[in-house]
Structure 1
């Protein structure tokens, strides 16, 4: 089928067919999710017209910003119900086709009809997830929590429905485009992995276990993010911390300061506080938020996952979880982690030895480094050995300037416009919306929710609002950075700058994939590679000099400071690898065997013995606070795997001009837009001209990146 026909069908099936289908099927409909008024239908389906000067890309329709009209929980409930109604309608329609009650439609139309129904449920759940993690009102979040569990269960039921499976299976794949054939085949595999070929009773067990997994996982995350402890400490114990930062927190007449232990505040104390008591209190308060409650929750989560894996015929959850990934098996994950551990062992020990030498200046008898002091000492090494001051460079990295920098970088690299759109509806006044415009066409929206508030997700993450494909995709960044008030410039350290670029890399990936003709689901262990790659633009000297300005004088960042920063960055690479390696081992061990074979304590003890290079504090129980144990399960290795891929992808960029839009365009078209429409290893090989390997990553680890790609080589 020609591409034009495929795109036309995509628009018809996923975007504009809803009204037509409804008019055929809603006679005497008693579905409780039915929206009955013509006005409501128009609001749900009519193109968004507030920005008549920005048209959506040809293959996209714009039903308006996702948050439009969601003024209260009633409107939120109605929106979710409308998504469910449309999904039910489309599933009912395709089942009638299976039973011969409808004329046989074009093959690609049939495949897309299922994807459209699934997308309705996915978009409903995405909306519930953003409310659950970001809405200021607890009543809103409570309603979203209930919907999240119900929608998870409904998606599970859809993906174990035998009639839907056979509907997809009977489609003649030879008549599908290569992209849609790949997506259809992966969907069939998902059905089979969900137990669709099992008996009815076993399928019900699968659905119940999946529901339990979601419930346990949500509870695990809530125990971490909804409990923000407060550290009360006298200001005399805060030497090393700037006066401005201290005074930004409430304090009483006796000089005791009350500091909410958010991630930025904990980092501030862990890195800069001179007194060990302050560092210890901050890190202990932050990293024990889920302890001991989450041990029992994690036990339940591990048991449910292992039971499900065994029911579906797999040896363990790690075997089940790895199968659809690039690694394919636990054995390859183990081999990869072992390879990374071997390569990084000496560099990690060398960097820890530098920390030890600094510690010996005040404690000559020291023989090891406590984990609590590691980041403080790392900052000291960077200052002494590389003449780098994190506190000084922060003055050139205000949150507002860095956000402007990441937007400008994205525009130049991908030849797009990112327009501030403050008039768009949003869930909090603190949110800043932007529209992504590609040569005059709207291809997506990004919402930046960058500062902490009560009840909000406590980390840094990219959350999709609408998947896209036929409609304009939307996504958001939820972060907890300093700033956001007139008296706080939000001065950031280089690590926080990298995190902004990292999460924005995720957001752009979502937008470019969502605005492409076909949207599939990429292998999960590739998902961090584009965001890890985009971090390189956060420290590129030329790019940094474009946006880093002194927050008071506007003076450009001195070249000497940029040089010191990049030299010091080479020092911390092994430690950064270590900070990803031991959680990868921990998460893998938790799910690679039956829970009764290894207790949580035994898994932690094994991890610290085999993969942890610091002295472990007696209160340190990472299994209680690592939220990735729910979302990533056994696959935290994804970060290291993505690091390896990202460094290899970087070899195709000119390191003397990282903003070359020709390379950015090629990378966008081959990797970002096509993710999920072909095996990622094939797309990576197409971009690189060869299979990916660890050579570039090893060069990065050892600080020996020397190669510049010429236009001829490219």
Structure 2
């Protein structure tokens, strides 16, 4: 295989793949469309996807060879051309992976995954191409580089850094090993995700076992008189764990939920962690976390550990108070003064306290939050605040009949497009995501508008009930749609700069969760699905009073996952491997709050982040500090103030990596950022 790396890139691609048909013969392929025309997803086939993938591979390889052949490297013929080739590959890769996640057709899913892997392999080849790298270095050492506008200079620096991080400076044998490891890691992550999404666990209950579950929920999962089959998925987790009166039901569900795909994924995770460690070592880093964090805001593991440990210190006392409150509720319920609170009890007794002490019933609140009303209210907020217009495309061509398609406009001009795929179905990815499909970019014949998809797994409607959301699920909806408008807001010249630093990207979604805690906003769409009654102000005020009832414990639970993530990827020792179950026990002992790990369960076997987003969990808290600080500007100026919203959109959402994110945030705030608003939000002023 060594000789391949000396051959031209186009030779490598064409030697490894069946010959792609010429564009003339692919004119009917629904993926090959004019600028800003929507893909006819309803007519796409696995064969179309494969042809599209092969054509993309061939064209992108030719593009890179052309860049390498230029005699006088310039910004336009190297870096702008690189952005164009990268954009072409990214669009195909995104479509392949999206259809692998959501297509109801098994052959399309298989083809999508295969296509994604092929394109990813070409990315690996390109980003470790020494000829391409030399062209880039040649330009970066020129006077023309020094005279570039800042955002173009940032693009040059980021692309060159990307190549360095992808092994371009390795020798031939090391480069072969780099490519072998990245291929192995990609295979492992795909297998892990597939196992997780196809686990299909069910909990069968009789009437006694279903005691306490909402009648609407029971109706949805009834399969005979007094019998229920509850799928163990994200959409059912909250309703069961918060409401099942019988402890045996909560425990049975908890064990099943935290054992999804454990028979296959525990071994995969062990190998995945090891291979990522080997990759980091090959790249000259002590740990995978060190390698992974280099391009992020945090920069290094020491900064992340300091951030996490500081939050642990600040939230532990509140968490102890929260646990004492829950222990007391459980002891009273079971009439045992020394009763031990188990992990499957936490959500239930928190919900009991909400109902008995604060008069807040999450299932009653759900009746005021139908999906259709929530979407309408959410769209209205985002449109008014950000100066955008969303138009539903009737009879839009989509990959599944429930999926909805929208176009985004600003002052009559097409700004973007998004799809909503909101409900679970067999073999669909089981988490919640704002998924980018196309990043905005200036093209020769116009501006290519961004396209995104909101992938959700909310409770689906039935013949007698609309989809009803909990307030927490409404927060998830607002959060994920925040990713959508982030994508729609970008209008920069280059697609590579469309997305922000990954440990800041959640901030631009988290900030919008705050509006569902504003009665003026919530009351515009929170109406009872039967009567049309607006959510009572008294009930909302009770919700606000109870907002931080277990804020310390919730923070610690998030930090516990951050610490686990870092244990896997920063503390891994190949000579003294710790079983991944034992890491949970180690962390619980260090935190000193409760034994949250349950023997016989393996939550790490169905946790998407440690699989496809390693060293990412801290980013949710890191981002949230920025999110709450930026929200304080809206609190000062008015939550419906469009001038502030437009300024936020232009400075933050539209930025990507065109300018330093800290500078952009400080300009929006008018001062350096701090964590005061975040701590207030936890009730820890």
Match of residue 626 from structure 1: 607
Q: Please report how far the alpha carbon of residue 488 of structure 1 lies from its aligned counterpart in structure 2 after TM superposition.
A: 2.3
448, 471, 476: which one aligns with 2:453: 476
Question: For each residue in 1:347-401, what CA deviation from the matched residue of structure 2 results, as whole angstroms up to 9, or x when unmatched?
Answer: 1111222111211212332354211110011111112222211111111101111
TM, length-normalised to structure 2: 0.92
Tell whether 2:505 aligns with 1:527: yes
Match of residue 445 from structure 2: none
Q: 1:44 to 1:246 in 2, by over 3 A?
A: closer
Question: For each residue in 1:430-484, what CA deviation from the matched residue of structure 2 results, as whole angstroms up to 9, or x when unmatched?
Answer: 1011111111111111111001111101111121111222312111111111134
Match of residue 180 from structure 1: 152
Match of residue 544 from structure 2: 566
Q: Please report how far the alpha carbon of residue 212 of structure 1 lies from its aligned counterpart in structure 2 after TM superposition.
A: 0.8
Tell whether 2:69 aligns with 1:96: yes
Is the Cα–Cα contact under 8 Å of residues 66 and 465 in structure 1 kept in the other structure?
no
358, 363, 368: which one aligns with 1:391: 363
Q: 1:703 to 1:67 in 2, by over 3 A?
A: farther
Q: Counterparts of 2:456 and 2:492 in 1: how far apart (Å)?
A: 27
Q: Please report how far the alpha carbon of residue 620 of structure 1 lies from its aligned counterpart in structure 2 after TM superposition.
A: 3.0
Instruction: Point out the more displaced range, 600-609 or 486-495.
Output: 600-609
Q: Counterparts of 2:118 and 2:30 in 1: how far apart (Å)?
A: 25
Q: Please report how far the alpha carbon of residue 129 of structure 1 lies from its aligned counterpart in structure 2 after TM superposition.
A: 1.0
Match of residue 87 from structure 1: 60
Tell whether 2:125 aligns with 1:162: no
Q: 1:309 to 1:375 in 2, by over 3 A?
A: same
What are the within-5 Å matches in structure 2 for residues 260-279 of structure 1?
260-279=231-250
Q: Please report how far the alpha carbon of residue 655 of structure 1 lies from its aligned counterpart in structure 2 after TM superposition.
A: 5.7
Q: 1:694 to 1:472 in 2, by over 3 A?
A: same
Question: For each residue in 1:238-261, what CA deviation from the matched residue of structure 2 results, as whole angstroms up to 9, or x when unmatched?
Answer: 1111223212224235x3211111
Q: 1:552 to 1:703 in 2, by over 3 A?
A: farther
Tell whether 2:319 aligns with 1:348: yes
Q: Counterparts of 2:353 and 2:91 in 1: how far apart (Å)?
A: 47
Question: For each residue in 1:253-272, what CA deviation from the matched residue of structure 2 results, as whole angstroms up to 9, or x when unmatched?
Answer: 5x321111121112211011
Q: Counterparts of 1:215 and 1:134 in 2: how far apart (Å)?
A: 19
Q: Please report how far the alpha carbon of residue 703 of structure 1 lies from its aligned counterpart in structure 2 after TM superposition.
A: 6.1
Q: Counterparts of 1:339 and 1:268 in 2: how far apart (Å)?
A: 33
Q: Please report how far the alpha carbon of residue 662 of structure 1 lies from its aligned counterpart in structure 2 after TM superposition.
A: 0.6
Match of residue 72 from structure 1: 45
Question: For each residue in 1:194-248, what CA deviation from the matched residue of structure 2 results, as whole angstroms up to 9, or x when unmatched?
Answer: 1201112211211111111111111112221211201111022211112232122
Instruction: Point out the more displaced range, 445-454 or 470-479.
Output: 470-479
Q: Please report how far the alpha carbon of residue 117 of structure 1 lies from its aligned counterpart in structure 2 after TM superposition.
A: 0.5
Question: For each residue in 1:264-288, what CA deviation from the matched residue of structure 2 results, as whole angstroms up to 9, or x when unmatched?
Answer: 1122110111111111111211111
Is the Cα–Cα contact under 8 Å of residues 221 and 627 in structure 1 kept in the other structure?
yes
Match of residue 4 from structure 2: none
Match of residue 597 from structure 1: 576
Runs (4+) off by over 4 Å: 41-46, 67-70
Match of residue 268 from structure 2: 297
Q: Counterparts of 1:398 and 1:69 in 2: how far apart (Å)?
A: 28
Instruction: Point out the more displaced range, 269-278 or 69-78.
Output: 69-78
565, 568, 571: which one aligns with 1:587: 565
Tell whether 2:82 aligns with 1:120: no
Tell whether 2:641 aligns with 1:688: no
Match of residue 476 from structure 2: 499
Match of residue 516 from structure 1: 492
Q: Please report how far the alpha carbon of residue 45 of structure 1 lies from its aligned counterpart in structure 2 after TM superposition.
A: 6.5
Tell whether 2:407 aligns with 1:431: no
Tell whether 2:305 aligns with 1:327: no
Number of matched pairs:
654
Secondary structure of 1:327's partner? coil
What are the within-5 Å matches in structure 2 for residues 300-311 of structure 1?
300-311=271-282
Q: Counterparts of 1:44 and 1:601 in 2: how far apart (Å)?
A: 44
Match of residue 366 from structure 1: 338
Secondary structure of 1:232's partner? strand
Q: Counterparts of 1:632 and 1:143 in 2: how far apart (Å)?
A: 23
- Gaps of at least 5 residues in structure 1 are 1-29, 48-60, 705-714
Question: For each residue in 1:522-566, what CA deviation from the matched residue of structure 2 results, as whole angstroms up to 9, or x when unmatched?
Answer: 221111111111111122211101111110111211111111112
TM, length-normalised to structure 1: 0.88
Question: For each residue in 1:50-69, what CA deviation from the matched residue of structure 2 results, as whole angstroms up to 9, or x when unmatched?
Answer: xxxxxxxxxxx41x123457
Tell whether 2:678 aligns with 1:701: no
Q: Please report how far the alpha carbon of residue 611 of structure 1 lies from its aligned counterpart in structure 2 after TM superposition.
A: 3.6
Secondary structure of 2:593's partner? coil
Secondary structure of 1:547's partner? coil
Match of residue 99 from structure 2: 131
Is the Cα–Cα contact under 8 Å of residues 368 and 614 in structure 1 kept in the other structure?
no
Match of residue 635 from structure 2: 654
Q: Counterparts of 1:46 and 1:448 in 2: how far apart (Å)?
A: 21
Instruction: Point out the more displaced range, 79-88 or 417-426.
Output: 79-88
Match of residue 203 from structure 2: 231
Q: Please report how far the alpha carbon of residue 74 of structure 1 lies from its aligned counterpart in structure 2 after TM superposition.
A: 1.2
Instruction: Point out the more displaced range, 496-505 or 171-180.
Output: 171-180
Q: Please report how far the alpha carbon of residue 485 of structure 1 lies from its aligned counterpart in structure 2 after TM superposition.
A: 3.8
Q: Counterparts of 2:165 and 2:390 in 1: how far apart (Å)?
A: 40
Match of residue 57 from structure 1: none
Q: Counterparts of 2:307 and 2:73 in 1: how far apart (Å)?
A: 46
Match of residue 422 from structure 1: 394
Question: For each residue in 1:549-597, what CA deviation from the matched residue of structure 2 results, as whole angstroms up to 9, or x when unmatched?
Answer: 1101112111111111122222232233123111100000001133443
Secondary structure of 1:475's partner? strand
Q: Counterparts of 2:500 and 2:481 in 1: how far apart (Å)?
A: 18
Q: Please report how far the alpha carbon of residue 105 of structure 1 lies from its aligned counterpart in structure 2 after TM superposition.
A: 7.4
